[in-house]
C-alpha cells in the first residue's frame, strides 16, 4: 500500500520536507546530512530575505535531485492537509524530471498520533489529485501516464499505515466511481455495468440483479418505461454490505440514478453537450463506490445500495410523451417529457427500497436536474429531505470533508404543479420555475411509509471540466467521501 524508506534513496529524483510558518523544521532522525542541511538553510534564508511565503517552494539539492519545502500553517481548517497534498502533487507534476520522491513525514509535527493522522490526510489528497483516466489513449502514453512514486521516511511506519487504511478504502471507492463515470457510453451500458458491479462480490458484498423480466413481474414499470427505446436491457441491482452480522438494526439505504446515457428519449436533447449525458449514471456510481469503500474498510454497519440502470434512447419502441405508466407503488404517472427520466427510475427504486429493506433511512443521489446547476453551480449539491435530523447530519458530515451541500425546501404547495389531470402525478412542471424542487417533490411521493429520506441532486457536482483541489478535472467522485463520513460520524 504505502512504501517507506529508512533514509534518502540515492536514486530518487526529489526530496520533500515540511516546515512551519517560520520555516523551522525538525530532523529527529538525522536524515539530513550536514551538507543537505546547509543547502536547505541557505535556501530558507533567501526565501526569508525575499519575504516569500509560498506553500511549496523548491531548489536543486543536486543535479539530479530537487528539494521541496512544504509550509504548514499553524491554524487550519478541516481538509487542509488533504488540499495541501493535492496542491503538492500539482506542484511536482510540472517538473519533467521528477518521477520519484522521498517525503520526510517526521518533520511535520511532534506528536506521533497527530502526525500519522495529518500525514495520512496529506497522502490521501496527493493520491486523489493524481487520478488519471487514460486507458483509451494510445499516443504519448508514457507522458500522460506519468506516475510519481513516493516513499515515506518516518519512524512511525505502523502508526501511519494504520491511519491510512481508512483513507485507502475511501480512495479506492472514489476511484471506482470516477472510472465508472468516465467510461464512454458505448462501453458502459446497463449490461456491462452489471458485470462491473458483480466484481465487488469478492469483497463480501452480496449482489443481486433483477433483469427486465423480473422487474416486469414485480411491476417496476416507471423504471422499465425509460429503457424501452434502448437495445440494452434495463436492470435494478442491489448491493448488500452486512458489516454488523447478527444485528437486528435496520440497514442504511443508498439509492442511485444509473442512466448510462440520457439522450432525452423522444423529447430529444439538443446535440451540443449531449455527450456529457454519459455521466447521468453518476449517482449510481457513487453508491457503488461507497459500497466498495465500506467493504474495504470493513465498516461495522449494515448498508444496502440500490441502483437503477437504464439507457434513455429514442426509437420505435421508446416511451412517448403522454404515455401513462403504473409505478411499483401503484401510483400512475403521466410522462409528459421523456427527458425527465431520472425521477421515473428513482420513483420505482425508492419504493422498492422501502418495501424490501424497511431501512433506517434512504439517501438517493442523482444527476437529476439542469436547474440545480442554475441554482448552486459547481459548488454545492442540492439537498432535499423529509427529515431535519437526517438533513442536519448530512450537512455536518459534508462540511467536514468539504463536499458541500445546501438544503432547499420541499412543501406540499408544490404538489399542485405536478398533479396530472388524468393520472396521479405528471413527471414535469409545466407552470415553470422551481425545477429542482418539483423534481424532489415528485420523488417524495414515492416514499410511501414516511421513511426518513434525503435526496442529493449532484448534477453540478459529478463532473467538472475544470480541475479542483482534489481532482484533476473530469469525474469527481463527489459523494463518496461525504457518505463515508456520515456513516463513520453518526452510524458506526
Ligand atoms: N440528466 C438530466 C439532468 C442534467 C442536466 C444532468 C445537465 C447534468 C447536467 C435530466 O434527466 C434531465 O434531462 N432533466 C431535465 C428535466 C426537465 C425535462 C423537466 C432538465 O433538467 O432539463
Ligand atoms: Zn433527462
Ligand atoms: Zn437524466
Distance, CA of 272 to CA of 282 (rounded, Å):
20
Residue 123's Cβ-side half-sphere holds a number of Cα atoms within 13 Å equal to 30
Ligand 1: centre distance to CA 277 (Å): 9
> 8 pLDDT exceeds 80?
yes
Query: Does pLDDT of 464 surpass 90?
Result: yes
Residue nearest to atom 16 of ligand 1 (CA): 340
- Ion ligand 2 neighbours (CB, 5 A) are 262, 339, 341
Confidence of residue 78 (pLDDT cuts 50, 70, 90): confident
> What SS3 state is found at 75?
coil
Return the residue whose CA atom lies nearest to atom 5 of ligand 1: 370
Residue 470: per-residue pLDDT: 95
Ligand 1 centre to CA of 386 (Å) is 23
Q: Looking at 65, 66, 257, 343, which residue is catalytic?
A: 343
pLDDT higher than threshold 80 for residue 404: yes
User: Does the active-site annotation cover 343?
Assistant: yes
Helices and strands: H and E segment counts in the chain: 14, 18
| pLDDT value at 361 more than 80 | yes
The b-or-e profile of 83-112 (16+ CB within 10 A means b, else e) is bbbbbbbebbeeeeebeebbbbbbbbbeee
Tell me what pLDDT residue 143 has: 65
Distances, alpha carbon 357 to alpha carbons 213, 294, 360, 376, in Å: 21, 18, 9, 33
Nearest residue by C-alpha to atom 8 in ligand 1? 459
CA distance 318 to 227: 7
The bound ligand whose nearest atom lies closest to the alpha carbon of 439 is: 1
Polymer length of the chain = 492
CA of 81 to the centre of ligand 2 (A): 38
Between the alpha carbon of residue 340 and those of residues 245, 319, 335, 458, the distances in Å are 39, 12, 8, 15
Q: How confident is the model at residue 200 (pLDDT cuts 50, 70, 90)?
A: very high
Say how many Å lie between the CA of residue 472 and the centre of ligand 1.
25
Residue 224 parent element (H or E): helix 221-226
Choose among 241, 257, 227: nearest CA to 479.
Answer: 257
| 195 given a catalytic annotation | no
Q: Which of 165, 269, 331, 404 is catalytic?
A: 269
Contacts of 432 (CB under 8 A, 6+ apart): none
Q: Does residue 367 have its Cβ closer than 6 Å to ligand 1? A: yes
Mean confidence (pLDDT) of the chain: 96
Q: Which three cell numbers stand for residue 3?
A: 512504501
User: Beta-carbon neighbour count of residue 142 at 10 Å?
Assistant: 6
Angstrom distance (rounded) from CA 151 to CA 154: 10
In the block, which residue shows the cell 464512454? Answer: 184
> Could you tell me if residue 211 is left (phi over 0), alpha (psi between -120 and 50 degrees) or otherwise beta?
beta
Interhelix angle 480-490/282-296, rounded to 10 degrees, is 50
Q: What is the pLDDT of residue 139?
A: 83
Q: Is 420 in the pocket of ligand 1 (CB under 6 A)?
A: no
* Cβ(312) – ligand 1 distance below 6 Å: no
Give the separation between CA 397 and CA 405, rounded to whole angstroms. Answer: 10
For the chain, percent of residues with pLDDT exceeding 90:
90
Is the CB of 342 within 6 Å of ligand 1? Answer: yes
Q: Which of 233, 241, 240, 239 is nearest to 260 (CA)?
A: 233
User: Are 437 and 408 in contact, with CB atoms under 8 Å apart?
Assistant: yes
The closest residue, in CA terms, to atom 13 on ligand 1 is 339
Whether residue 191 contacts residue 234, with contact meaning beta carbons closer than 8 Å, is answered with no
Task: Quote the distance between the C-alpha of residue 59 and its chain's center.
Answer: 36
How many angstroms separate the CA atoms of 439 and 350, rounded?
Answer: 14
For the record, the C-alpha cell of 326 comes out as 403504473
* Residues 92, 98: Cα–Cα separation, whole Å: 7
Ligand 1 neighbourhood includes 31 CB (under 6 angstroms) = no
Among 190, 89, 101, 187, CA closest to 151: 101
142 has pLDDT over 80: no
Work out the average pLDDT over 47-73.
92
**Does 433 sit in the ligand 1 pocket, CB within 6 Å?**
no
Quote the strand ranges of 3-117, DSSP E.
14-19, 56-62, 65-71, 100-104
CA of 480 to the centre of ligand 2 (A): 23
> Is it the case that residue 33 has pLDDT exceeding 80?
yes
Candidate from 264, 267, 339 with most ligand 1 atoms within 8 A of CB, to mutate: 339
The answer, yes or no, to whether any atom of ligand 1 lies below 6 A from the CB of 375, is no
Q: Does ligand 1 come within 6 angstroms of the Cβ of 344?
A: no
Band of the pLDDT at 145, cuts 50, 70, 90? Answer: low
What's the gap in Å between 269 CA and the centre of ligand 1?
Answer: 9
Does residue 412 sit in helix, strand or coil? helix
Verify whether ligand 1 is closer than 6 Å to residue 125 (CB atom): no
Question: In which region does residue 149 sit, left (phi positive, over 0), alpha (psi from -120 to 50) or beta (all else)?
Answer: beta
pLDDT at 333: 99
Res. 308 pLDDT band, cuts 50 70 90: very high
**Residue 311: CB within 6 Å of ligand 1?**
no
Residue nearest to atom 7 of ligand 1 (CA): 370
Amino acid at each position: 500500500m504505502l512504501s517507506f524508506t529508512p533514509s534518502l534513496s540515492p536514486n530518487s529524483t526529489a526530496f520533500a520536507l515540511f516546515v512551519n510558518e517560520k520555516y523551522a523544521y525538525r530532523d529527529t532522525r538525522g536524515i539530513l546530512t550536514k551538507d543537505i542541511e546547509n543547502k536547505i538553510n541557505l535556501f530558507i534564508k533567501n526565501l526569508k530575505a525575499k519575504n516569500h511565503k509560498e506553500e511549496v517552494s523548491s531548489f536543486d539539492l543536486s543535479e539530479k535531485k530537487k528539494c521541496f519545502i512544504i509550509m504548514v500553517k499553524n491554524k487550519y481548517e478541516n481538509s487542509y492537509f488533504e488540499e495541501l497534498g493535492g496542491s503538492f502533487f500539482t506542484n511536482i507534476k510540472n517538473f519533467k524530471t521528477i518521477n520519484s520522491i522521498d517525503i520526510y513525514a517526521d518533520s511535520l509535527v511532534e506528536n506521533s498520533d497527530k502526525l500519522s493522522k495529518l500525514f495520512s490526510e496529506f497522502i490521501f489528497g496527493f493520491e486523489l489529485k493524481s487520478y488519471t483516466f487514460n486507458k483509451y489513449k494510445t499516443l504519448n502514453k508514457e507522458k500522460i501516464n506519468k506516475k510519481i512514486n513516493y516513499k515515506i521516511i518516518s519512524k512511525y511506519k505502523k502508526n501511519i499505515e494504520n491511519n491510512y487504511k481508512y483513507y485507502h478504502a475511501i480512495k479506492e471507492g472514489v476511484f471506482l466511481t470516477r472510472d465508472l463515470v468516465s467510461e464512454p457510453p458505448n462501453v458502459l451500458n446497463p449490461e456491462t455495468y452489471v458485470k462491473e458491479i458483480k466484481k465487488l462480490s469478492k469483497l463480501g458484498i452480496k449482489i443481486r440483479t433483477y433483469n427486465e423480466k423480473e422487474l416486469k413481474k414485480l411491476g417496476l414499470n416507471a423504471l422499465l418505461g425509460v429503457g424501452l427505446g434502448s437495445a440494452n436491457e434495463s436492470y435494478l441491482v442491489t448491493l448488500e454490505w452486512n458489516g454488523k452480522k447478527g444485528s437486528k438494526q435496520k440497514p442504511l439505504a443508498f439509492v442511485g440514478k444509473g442512466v448510462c446515457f440520457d439522450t432525452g428519449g423522444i423529447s430529444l436533447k439538443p446535440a451540443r453537450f449531449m455527450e456529457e449525458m454519459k455521466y447521468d449514471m453518476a449517482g449510481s456510481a457513487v453508491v457503488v463506490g461507497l459500497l466498495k469503500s465500506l467493504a474495504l474498510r470493513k465498516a461495522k454497519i449494515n448498508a444496502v445500495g440500490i441502483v437503477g440502470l437504464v439507457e434513455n434512447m429514442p426509437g420505435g419502441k421508446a416511451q412517448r410523451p403522454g404515455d401513462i405508466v403504473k409505478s411499483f407503488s401503484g401510483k400512475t404517472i403521466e410522462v409528459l417529457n421523456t427527458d425527465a427520466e431520472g425521477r421515473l427510475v428513482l420513483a420505482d427504486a425508492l419504493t422498492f427500497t422501502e418495501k424490501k429493506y424497511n431501512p433506517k433511512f434512504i439517501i438517493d443521489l442523482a444527476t437529476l436536474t439542469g436547474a440545480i446547476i442554475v441554482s448552486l453551480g459547481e459548488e454545492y449539491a442540492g439537498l432535499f429531505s423529509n427529515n431535519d435530523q437526517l438533513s442536519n447530519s448530512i450537512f455536518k458530515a459534508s462540511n467536514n470533508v468539504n463536499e458541500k451541500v445546501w438544503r432547499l425546501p420541499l412543501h406540499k404547495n408544490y404538489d399542485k404543479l405536478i398533479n396530472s389531470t388524468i393520472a396521479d402525478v405528471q413527471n414535469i412542471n409545466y407552470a415553470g420555475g422551481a425545477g429542482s424542487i418539483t423534481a424532489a417533490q415528485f420523488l417524495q411521493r414515492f416514499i410511501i411509509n414516511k421513511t426518513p429520506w434525503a435526496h442529493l441532486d449532484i448534477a453540478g457536482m459529478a463532473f467538472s471540466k475544470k480541475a479542483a483541489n482534489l481532482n484533476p478535472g473530469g469525474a469527481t467522485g463527489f459523494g463518496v467521501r461525504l457518505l463515508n463520513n456520515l456513516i463513520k460520524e453518526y452510524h458506526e
